[in-house]
Structure formats: structure tokens, C-alpha cells
Structure 1
Amino acid sequence: MAAPIVVVATITAKPGHEDDVEKVLSDVASAVHAEDGCLRYALHRKTGAPGVFVMVEKWASQEALGAHMKGAAMRQLGAGLRDHLAAAPDIATLEVVPAGDPVIGAL
């Protein structure tokens, strides 16, 4: 069985565009949750930085992540965020390093 893939995407809004970015990110969440292989898609705001959003994702496989990246929700996200970001999103793809308790030691 393929190992799950964790993605952490940091999205920074232009000053004054924070509400627009949050709305776009929130609006696509239900569609992404329904995608095959989506195990987690959770939006967060960086404490003390109202314009910095962090999406923590977990995908069942690299194939599921690849399908997500090419899907309708991502096209909607790209179009909706186009004029509202201060920079391109910072996207990190992570591999689990087993350590400690296997249940709480990994996403």
C-alpha cells in the first residue's frame, strides 16, 4: 500500500485582500473533501498574521494528490486567488518519518 502524502501550503494574501482569500479557500473545501483519496484538507490562519493561511492536507497516495492538482477545485482556487495573493503559495510535500507512537506521531 502506498504511503499517504502530507502537504502544507502557505498562502499569503495581499494587504486588504484577507477576506477574499479566506472566502475562496473556504468555498473549495467541500469539493476537495469529496475528492477520491482526500484524507485531510484543513484550513488554518497563522496566529498573529491575519493574511497568512495554511492548508494542511493529507492524501491517500501520490496519484490522489496528482488528480487533485489537476481537478476542478484547483482550477477554481487558482482563478479565485489570482488577484489576491502577495506571492505564489509556498507548497511543501512531506513524507512521514515514523517516530514515537504511530497514531499520534504522524498526520
Structure 2
Amino acid sequence: MMQTDPITVLAIFTPAPGARSQVLEVMRKYIPRVHGEQGCDLYCIQEEEKTGRIVMFERWASEHDLDLHSQGRIVDELNRALDGLLVGSPEVTRLWPIPIGDPQRGVVRPAY
């Protein structure tokens, strides 16, 4: 059953040895394009200091919007551009909120 609530995604990318700057350059090209997609509330990257893995946080207005993004041209182009620059495939996990405590701090929200 398709969820209609906001959905968060955690995606982890492991750059191949020596490919970090190339991976970031690819992401610099595609991330701004994703920001304009329907339902994109948050799409940002962070770096895990000890391992150098790049962690992407995404928040979509609905699972439907996420599915459109996942099956869309931008993701296809991004994946092709990252081919050979990563160790393995990105680890992608879909997460649904379990609000607890303060409504402003108990769920992932967009930065704006």
C-alpha cells in the first residue's frame, strides 16, 4: 500500500579510492535539479568523517513523489554519471516518521 505521508530517505554512497572529488562534482551537477522536482522537501548530502562515505538525506512530500523521482530521468543520469566512481551500489533506505515528543523536533522537516 502506498504511503501518502511524508517520507525520508537515507542513501549512503561510498566513493572509490581517489574518486571523492569526482563523486562530489557529479552530485553538484544533479542535486540542484532534484530540488525542483515535485514533492522534494529536502535533498542534501553530508560526509561521514571517519569513512569518507557520503550520506544523502531526502524528504519527500509522499511516497508517490519519491517513486516519480526514483524512476525519473535525473536519477538515471545521476546513476550513470556515478558509474565506476563508487564502491558497490548506494545503500538506500526508505523511512517513515514515528513522531514522538516535540512536534517540531520529533520528525525530519525541511530546512526552510
The TM-score with structure 1 as length reference comes to 0.94
Query: In 1, Cα distance between the equivalents of 2:25 and 2:106?
Result: 32
Which residue in 2 is equivalent to 1:68? 69
Equivalent residue of 2:32, what SS? helix
The amino acid across from 2:54 in the alignment is: F
Give the 4+ runs in structure 1 shifted more than 2 A: none
Give how far 1:65 is off. 0.3
- Aligned residue-pair number: 106
2:34 paired with 1:32: yes
Mapped partners of 1:26, 1:102: distance in 2: 32
Cα distance between partner residues in 2 of 1:82 and 1:2 = 32
- Equivalent residues in 2 for 1:53-64 (5 A)? 53-64=54-65
Say whether the 8 Å CA contact 2:4–2:64 is kept in structure 1. no
Query: Which residues of structure 1 form unaligned runs of 5+?
Result: none
- Deviation string, structure 1 residues 55-90 (Cα, Å, up to 9, x no partner): 100000011000001112101111110111111111
Identical aligned residues as a percent: 32
Tell whether the 8 Å contact from 1:26 to 1:43 is kept in structure 2 after alignment: no
Flag structure 2 segments of 5+ consecutive residues without an equivalent. Answer: none
Asked if the contact 2:5–2:61 (Cα under 8 Å) also holds between the matched residues in 1, the reply is yes
Following the alignment from structure 2 to structure 1, what is the Cα–Cα distance between the partners of residues 4 and 67?
14
Q: 1:47 aligns with which of 43, 46, 49?
A: 49
Q: Distance in 2 between matches of 1:26 and 1:87?
A: 21
2 CA distance for matches of 1:26 and 1:103?
A: 29
* TM-score normalised to structure 2 length: 0.90
- Residue 8 of structure 2 aligns to which amino acid in structure 1? V
**Counterparts of 1:71 and 1:30, CA distance in 2:** 15
Q: Which amino acid aligns with 1:61?
A: S
